[in-house]
Amino acid sequence: MGLSTPAGGERKPRPLVPIGPQAAILYGIIDLGTHTEITQWGEKKKPKVMFLFEYPMLPKVTFDEAKGPQRMNQIIEYAFYSDEKSNLIKGLKSWRGVPKVDLAKDLPAYLGQACQIMIVQETSKRTGELISKPMNNGAIILPLTANFGPPENPIVFFDMDKFTWPAFHALYPWVQKKIKMSIEWNGILQKF
């Protein structure tokens, strides 16, 4: 076994979303549950949510030959806090231009909606590769008046409080893996 090339060959580099403002459509909101993180201040438990965006104005890319060309997409993971200082609340407020957001009621209304995300590029601390990411960790998302129609990807809304096996199995395997690492997962297995 060699450490220079993983089993299965060399990993194909993922295309980068260009730097600057990019039109995007939100096609997924996924509750990832609560995760334990080790910080410089010790262990911290954080509820997390994942937003899935696709970029309708960028050239399509073939990630999987069987599926053909698809819109580039990107995820933003947020700590799921309703505090006014949270990046999630800041991003949602700036997107809709509203003074207040009620996560319990307002979140599904964002699905299928277009916005503008400011993209920056930096070197990943984990892999050392150049990556594209939203500026300020997605704390600034701007409204977009253009209509790009519905997203090409299927709309996904997954809430752990309304767990069902069919909804869980409809998620990407790598998202299922993240959810299985949540603090709530053992309780879900016992309940369902």
Per-residue pLDDT at 1:
32
Dihedral through CA 59, CA 144, CA 88, CA 192, nearest 10? -70
Per-run averaged pLDDT (10 residues), the chain, 192 residues = 43 80 95 89 91 94 86 92 89 89 88 93 86 85 86 94 94 95 92 84
The token pair at 78 is: 């947020």
Give the other-Cβ count within 10 Å of 89's Cβ: 18
Per-residue pLDDT at 131:
86
Per-residue pLDDT at 62:
87
Of the candidates 75, 71, 73, 94, the one whose C-alpha atom is nearest the C-alpha of residue 84 is 94
0.95 surpassed by pTM = no
The token pair at 156 is: 């996904």
d(CA 81, CA 28): 18
Give the other-Cβ count within 10 Å of 31's Cβ: 21
Of the candidates 173, 99, 94, 84, the one whose C-alpha atom is nearest the C-alpha of residue 134 is 94
Of the candidates 83, 100, 132, 138, the one whose C-alpha atom is nearest the C-alpha of residue 116 is 138
CA atoms 169, 92, 116, 133: torsion sign:
negative
Kindly give, in sequence order, each residue whose CB lies less than 8 Å from that of residue 163, ignoring residues fewer than 6 positions away: 188, 191, 192
